[in-house]
Amino acid sequence: MAAQVSLALLLVAALALLLWLSCAAAEDAASGGARAAARHRAKAERHLKRLNKPAVKTIVSPDGDIIDCVHVSHQPAFDHPFLKNHTIQKRPTFYPEGIASKVESHKNSPSITQPWHQNGKCPEDTIPIRRTKAEDLLRASSAKKYGRKKHRSMAKPLSIDPDLLNESGHQHAIAYVEGERYYGAKATINVWKPKIQQSSEFSLSQLWILGGSFGEDLNSIEAGWQVSPDLYGDNNTRLFTYWTSDAYQATGCYNLLCSGFVQISNEIAMGASIYPLSYYGGSQYDISILVWKDPQEGHWWIQFGNDFVLGYWPAFLFNYLAESSSMIQWGGEVVNSQLEGEHTSTEMGSGHFPEEGFGKASYFRNIQIVDGSNNLRAPMEVGTFTERPSCYDVQNGNNEDWGHYFYYGGPGRSNNCP
Ligand SMILES: *[C@@H]1O[C@H](CO)[C@@H](O)[C@H](O)[C@H]1NC(C)=O
Ligand SMILES: *[C@@H]1O[C@H](CO)[C@@H](O)[C@H](O)[C@H]1NC(C)=O
Ligand SMILES: *[C@@H]1O[C@H](CO)[C@@H](O)[C@H](O)[C@H]1NC(C)=O
Q: What is the mean pLDDT of residues 227-248?
A: 91
In the chain, count H helices and then E strands.
Answer: 6, 19
* pLDDT for position 2: 45
DSSP bridge pairs for 187: 289
Q: What is the mean pLDDT of residues 350-376?
A: 97
Q: Maximum CA pair distance of the chain?
A: 72
- Using only the alpha carbons of the chain, give its radius of gyration: 22
DSSP reduced 3-state for 78: helix
Residue 44: pLDDT band with limits 50, 70, 90: confident
Residue 382: closest CA among 165, 236, 225, 176: 176
- Check 180, 222, 297, 340 and give the catalytic one: 222
Q: What is the mean pLDDT of residues 33-43?
A: 84
Summarised one tens digit per residue, pLDDT across range 197-216 is 999 999 999 999 999 876 66
Whether residue 117 has pLDDT greater than 90: yes
Q: How far is the CA of 241 from the centre of ligand 1 (A)?
A: 29
End-to-end CA distance of the chain: 67
Q: How far is the CA of 83 from the centre of ligand 1 (A)?
A: 10
DSSP bridge pairs for 175: 330, 384
Collect contacts of 84-87 with beta carbons under 8 A, ≥24 apart.
86/262, 86/314
Residue 412: pLDDT band with limits 50, 70, 90: very high
Phi, psi of 39 (to 5 degrees): -65, -40
* pLDDT for position 19: 46
Ligand nearest to the CA of 78: 1
What amino acid is encoded at 149 in this protein?
K
Cβ–ligand 2 distance for 54 under 6 Å, the answer no
* Residue ranges of domains in the chain: 45-409
Cβ–ligand 3 distance for 196 under 6 Å, the answer yes
* pLDDT for position 364: 98
Closest Cα to atom 6 of ligand 2: 388
**Poorest-confidence range of 18-27, 297-306, 320-329?**
18-27
DSSP bridge pairs for 401: none
SS (H, E, C) 275-292: ECCCCCCCCCCEEEEEEE
Ligand nearest to the CA of 63: 3
**Poorest-confidence range of 154-168, 225-239, 267-281, 365-379?**
154-168
What atom in ligand 3 is closest to the CA of residue 197?
Answer: 5
Cβ–ligand 1 distance for 85 under 6 Å, the answer yes
Closest Cα to atom 1 of ligand 3: 235
- Comparing 399 with 154, the larger pLDDT belongs to 399
- Check 45, 333, 340, 387 and give the catalytic one: 333
SS (H, E, C) 182-204: ECEEEEEEECCCCCCCCCCCCEE
222 tagged catalytic: yes
Whether residue 154 has pLDDT greater than 70: no
Q: How far is the CA of 82 from the centre of ligand 1 (A)?
A: 9
Cβ burial, residue 3 (10 Å; 0-12/13-18/19+): exposed
Residue 21: pLDDT band with limits 50, 70, 90: very low
| CB contact at 8 A, 388 and 336 | no
* pLDDT for position 409: 98
Whether residue 374 has pLDDT greater than 60: yes
Q: How far is the CA of 165 from the centre of ligand 2 (A)?
A: 9
Q: What is the mean pLDDT of residues 29-45?
A: 80
* pLDDT for position 247: 65
Q: How far is the CA of 80 from the centre of ligand 1 (A)?
A: 13
The rounded distance, in Å, linking the Cα atoms of 161 and 205 is 23
Phi, psi of 37 (to 5 degrees): -65, -40
Residue 206: closest CA among 310, 348, 65: 348
The rounded distance, in Å, linking the Cα atoms of 373 and 327 is 17
Closest Cα to atom 10 of ligand 1: 85
Q: How far from 321 is each of 289, 302, 378, CA to CA, in Å? A: 18, 14, 21
Cβ–ligand 3 distance for 139 under 6 Å, the answer no
- 256: Cα within 13 Å, side-chain hemisphere: 33
Whether residue 157 has pLDDT greater than 50: no
| CB contact at 8 A, 220 and 208 | yes
Cβ–ligand 1 distance for 87 under 6 Å, the answer no
| CB contact at 8 A, 332 and 353 | no
Cβ–ligand 2 distance for 388 under 6 Å, the answer yes
The DSSP element (H or E) to which 258 belongs, if any, is: none
- Comparing 283 with 250, the larger pLDDT belongs to 283
